Every structure is written in C-alpha cells, then in structure tokens.
Amino acid sequence: RPRLLMSPRGRPLDQARVRALADGPGAVIVCGRFEGIDQRLIEARALEEVSIGDYILSGGEPAALVLLDAVVRLLPGVMGNQESGAVESFEDGLLEHPQYTRPQLFEGRPIPEVLLSGNHARIAAWRHAEAEKLTRERRPDLWAAYREAGRDK
C-alpha cells in the first residue's frame, strides 16, 4: 500500500490521485511536525510526499485529514447515493456549477428561471455552461487543461 508523507514539497494532491487512493488497498500516512521528518527516513521507507496546497501548516495532521476526507467520501456507501459524487468540481475537469436551494427568492435574488423550468436537458446545458464559465474565470489552469483534452466541444 502507498506510504504517504504530508509535505509542502510533495506532488499536489488532485482528484485523480484521490480516486486512485480510494480504489486502492489503503495507505499509510506519515505526518511531520514543524520542520518535518528526517530525509533518511523518507528515503529508507520510500515515502511519497503529497502536498495539499502552497502554504505551510504546523504539522501534517490537518493535511492528512483533508486527504482522508477526500478519499473516504469516494468509498462505496459513504455518501449514500453514489451518483452524488459524480457531479462535483474536478470530476470532469471543471469547477462545479452554482448551487441554488429554497426559497425561490432570497434577499431579492431569484433562482435562475431555467432551474425552475423542469426541462432537464436545458438545466443540464445551463449547469455545464456555468461550470465552463466559472472555470474559465477562476481557474485558467484547469480551463487550459480542459480545452487541451478537447472536452470543451
């Protein structure tokens, strides 16, 4: 099973790696504190360094919790409806579309009319267009990868 070291020096954690861990035999997670752990141990135990972002924590424990939460939610039966995890940010290379709930009017802001139409094809098209728009605006790196993969057609 993978031996992971939570470290800002590691490969950034992404949804593909999370999915691989969820589909795998489990993992051993090592957490350093303050300055990390001895390099010799990293080498001797073939630890794979994993980062959850470009910032520094006091220890690897909060990062390990992030990794665990991301993995556990993909395990069968954890979310109840397995389809719930299929339409999420990063699952198809895009950020997720905006969410709307009741009431239909909140502080003068209505739910977009298309979402009230009952037309599932139009709703799906709207959600996809919104996901593309948000990704283009907020994460040009993801948008470029999405386009490069030819998924923007």
Helices (H) and strands (E) in the chain, counts: 5, 5
Q: What is the pTM of this model?
A: 0.80
Closest of 54, 10, 62, 8 to residue 35, by C-alpha: 8
Q: Is the pLDDT of residue 153 over 80?
A: no
Task: Give tens-digit pLDDT for 42-98.
Answer: 999 999 999 999 999 999 999 999 999 999 999 999 987 666 656 677 888 899 999
Q: Who's near 152: CB < 8 A, 6+ residues apart?
A: 132, 146
Task: Give tens-digit pLDDT for 96-149.
Answer: 999 999 999 999 999 999 999 999 999 999 999 999 999 999 999 999 999 999
Mean pLDDT of 5-22: 96
- Neighbouring CB atoms inside 10 A of 36's CB total 19
Q: Which domains does the chain have, with CATH numbers?
A: 3-72 (3.40.1280.10), 87-148 (1.10.1270.20)
